[in-house]
Structure 1
């Protein structure tokens, strides 16, 4: 294990000074040192960028990544980072939690290693596209008592939360939920955020193809595997999670109610339709359109007397936020009311996710301290309500069924 990293004066950010001493998390809040497992594109384009601005809450104490360039790029932006090869080494280096940001087919081994080492985990989506692996992770979480949070960062945007609450409040009158995504998935969206040449968009690597074969079974076609890995499992699984959250408590689920799924444009576009009951239709579409300059996402809930329209920018954008329009009609007079909610600039799902997760980790640490002092540990408030493995399993069930039924 090597300790290295850049030394220099702290820089001021919107959230306070950077580079303070370990544990300087502000009044009543300890800074959470984490091990970053996987320092690739999503780490640099999202999580590490937010961590630099939230240094009073969270800092990388260790990094695990087989690529020296990835490790060097991370350590160039943070002080006192240890290079480790296992979760156990990261604990010795001071890590108290883990961010698993490596490719999805590596998540099973990484997460189990962290749970065995006692490290609470925030795991990027998809947690896994293999249901058997998710079941193993659920069993490991139960066995160790260490929680895993699924990286559904959109769920932490305050405007998305308002949308979900509106859907729940009007679930009895729900008639349609639609999702429409135009995704460039092109270099101009993230290359400027990654401090080394990002790998080009291309075929799945051999390890991913093997993992997809296990996840879908031997009868799956190459097109089904490609769409499962990208349009369905790589993108729409986020929105499937939002739909499941909106329908929570209603008894409605997507798995088992699929009417059709279809791919076109060589697998770069996919659309699915579910009918959870006779009253409700759910339709989702993802189109990869490299020529488009901007990412566009629209989720709309239609009830008998209301329409809620949520629009979201690229998850990597900081110069614009989510917008929610809620239209309602009075049943007697027909009078219409529109309410609009907007997230401010830089109120990103990634940032709010790190805030929520570090709060949960801090509470866990307080509970452990009480237990060590001979008292009974308090409930881990703020941990279990975060999206977890059981939600990830329900979402994977739905998108896997859609992949295997692709026309």
Structure 2
């Protein structure tokens, strides 16, 4: 993986004591159940949360001894040595800055920020604090996704097209069975989010562009933009500055973007919100000379499914074709592998660092450019 170098000295051996900041939907649907199943990697020492329902749910989820704190600094006094940030995206800048001021390495859910100015501020604060900020690109930790990226890098000189297609219910029923209380309904962005989007996109961007940026582009496709950037890393090709067009349709439920990194390669990415669909579907396809690789990913919250990669290759001279299929063990989700990798990066000298703020800045630049060009 193309990841930022870790900046802090490793923590002692044993499970890393962490503070969970924000015990809402993603914390309950993903992180808490994985922390509970990774007792040798992580220990929930503290929780920063104000909602009593959320706090009671953390206790009931198997963490009766976690100290409830008001601030990251208080969590440090309670024994926390790293922070998992799961608050709403528009709060991330302030929360991550508070963590860095307290000396806490951070794993922040995506999007870390949708405002390039905030990302630059976080990069400067990270350098000053000397502790790393990792981004929640949990898909990158799936071994099937890693094999897809490796195959695409090997075939990049002959690459012709990368296609991303997401069909997303983006509805409460996706996570309702994982939540100890009713998940929040899908609705408009709250006022603080609208203010953050106006700052990020400028006054000329209307409601449709802001909504597409917050959900289809910045809330979902930024994951796949990160995968595409991982494929292109080191090859001199970029998405930012190479945008052909960006489309919005179905009253904002559909967003599609096309980039042309060079004269040989086109990248197409589409996100459709389809609340009537019961299942999330995601496909990435890489087409090159003599090869097509198709990656299918289940809902990121699914434990009973795994990613599947099919690689088809053929030889024009012999007319022989081969197909290889790769899957991973169900249950070992991207969230779990990400948390385990984060713990290793904090605890073990020389362990690989996770994707960091440099990748966040590159990805955000590409999706923000698309949001400003939506038609």
| TM-score of the two chains, using structure 1 as the length reference | 0.88
Q: Is the 8 A contact 2:58 2:64 kept in 1?
A: no
Are positions 1:166 and 2:151 aligned together?
Answer: yes
Instruction: Give the structure 2 partner of residue 298 of structure 1.
Output: 283
Alignment partners' CA distance in 2, 1:251 and 1:241? 16
Secondary structure at the residue paired with 1:327?
strand
Partners of 1:289 and 1:265 in 2: how far apart? 10
Alignment match of 1:339 (pick from 317, 324, 336): 324
Task: Report whether the alignment pairs 1:382 with 2:345.
Answer: no
1:64 paired with 2:48, answer: yes
Of residues 69, 94, 117, the one that matches 1:84 is: 69
- How many angstroms apart in 2 are the aligned matches of 1:210 and 1:188? 28
Structure 2: runs of 5+ lacking an equivalent: 1-11
Q: For residues 49-105 of structure 1, what are the alpha-carbon distances to aligned partners after superposition, in whole Å with 9 as ceiling and x for unaligned?
A: 111111221121111122121122112221311111111110110101000010111
Match of 1:148 in 2: 133
Q: Deviations over 1:21-62 (max 9, x none)?
A: xxxxxxx94111100011000000001111111122112111
Name the structure 2 match of 1:247: 232
1:400 aligns with 2:371: no
2:6 maps to none
1:351 matched to 2:340? The reply is no
Aligned residue in 2 for 1:37: 21
SS of residue in 2 equivalent to 1:235:
helix
Please name the residue that 1:13 is paired with.
Answer: none
Supply the distance in 1 between the matched residues of 2:350 and 2:90 (Cα, whole angstroms): 30
Higher relative contact order (CA 8 A, sep 6+): 2
Partners of 1:350 and 1:152 in 2: how far apart? 9
Contact kept? 1:163, 1:308, Cα under 8 Å: yes
Q: Give the superposed CA RMSD.
A: 1.1
Deviates more, 1:274-283 or 1:183-192: 183-192
3-state SS, counterpart of residue 124 of structure 2:
helix
Q: 2:161 aligns with which of 129, 152, 176?
A: 176
Q: Which one has a bigger Cα radius of gyration? A: 1
Count residues with an aligned counterpart.
363
Q: Is the Cα contact below 8 Å between 1:327 and 1:339 reproduced in 2?
A: yes
**3-state DSSP class of the match of 2:304?**
coil
The answer to whether the 8 A contact 2:172-2:184 is kept is no
SS of 2:139 mapped into structure 1: helix
Of 187, 196, 219, the residue aligned with 2:172 is 187
Q: State the distance in 2 between where 1:304 and 1:29 align.
A: 47
Q: Which aligned runs of 4 or more in structure 1 are off by greater than 3 angstroms?
A: none
Q: Is 1:311 matched with 2:296?
A: yes
Give the Cα–Cα distance (whole angstroms) in 2 for the partners of residues 100 and 334 of structure 1: 52
1:216-295 aligned within 5 A? 216-295=201-280
Instruction: Check the 8 A contact 1:99/1:122 in 2, yes or no.
Output: yes
The answer as to whether partners of 1:47 and 1:350 remain within 8 angstroms in 2 is yes
Q: Kindly indicate whether the alpha-carbon contact (under 8 Å) linking 1:40 and 1:70 is maintained by their aligned counterparts in 2.
A: yes
Q: Distance in 2 between matches of 1:306 and 1:82?
A: 53
Q: Are the aligned partners of 1:361 and 1:383 in contact in 2 as well (CA < 8 Å)?
A: no
Cα-to-partner distance string for 1:339-382 (whole Å, 9 max, x where unaligned)? 1100111021001101100001112xxxxxxxxxxxxxxxx523
For 2:50 and 2:253, the matched residues in 1 are separated by 30
- List gaps (5 residues or longer) in structure 1: 1-27, 364-379
